[in-house]
Amino acid sequence: MTVIIANDTPDAIRGMLKRWFIEPRPNVFVGTLNRRTREKTMEYIKRNGIGAGFLIIHSDNNCQGFMIENLDPGNRKGVEISGIYLIAEKWEG
């Protein structure tokens, strides 16, 4: 399963996401994609979603069972510590 939470989504990306995802709430996209389709979708978002904020959570074969990719220019950063993915709210240095 893949969940994408988007901010300021351009119309082109919103239209592309609606091909494979449902949008249960505004700017929240949920779907089940195979790995190749998910990677191609994420490449498209990274290439064309400059300036927009995206949080992408998808199933993965690790101890947590999911992976988080934060494409948001905000303050929060993802950090991996001992194989566990955490979100740092304040980042110094």
Q: Quickly count: other Cβ atoms within 10 Å of residue 64's Cβ.
A: 11
Q: Which residues of 11-31 are buried (b: 16+ CB within 10 A; e: fewer)?
A: eebeeebeeebeeeeebebeb
Separation between Cα atoms, residue 49 and residue 44, nearest integer Å: 8
| Multiple choice CATH, 2-88, 1.25.40.10, 3.30.70.240, 3.40.50.2300, 3.30.470.20 | 3.30.70.240
Digits of tens for pLDDT over the chain (93 positions)?
Answer: 999 999 888 888 888 899 999 999 999 999 999 989 988 988 988 888 777 888 889 998 888 888 888 877 666 777 888 878 887 776 665
CB 51 within 8 A of CB 6: no
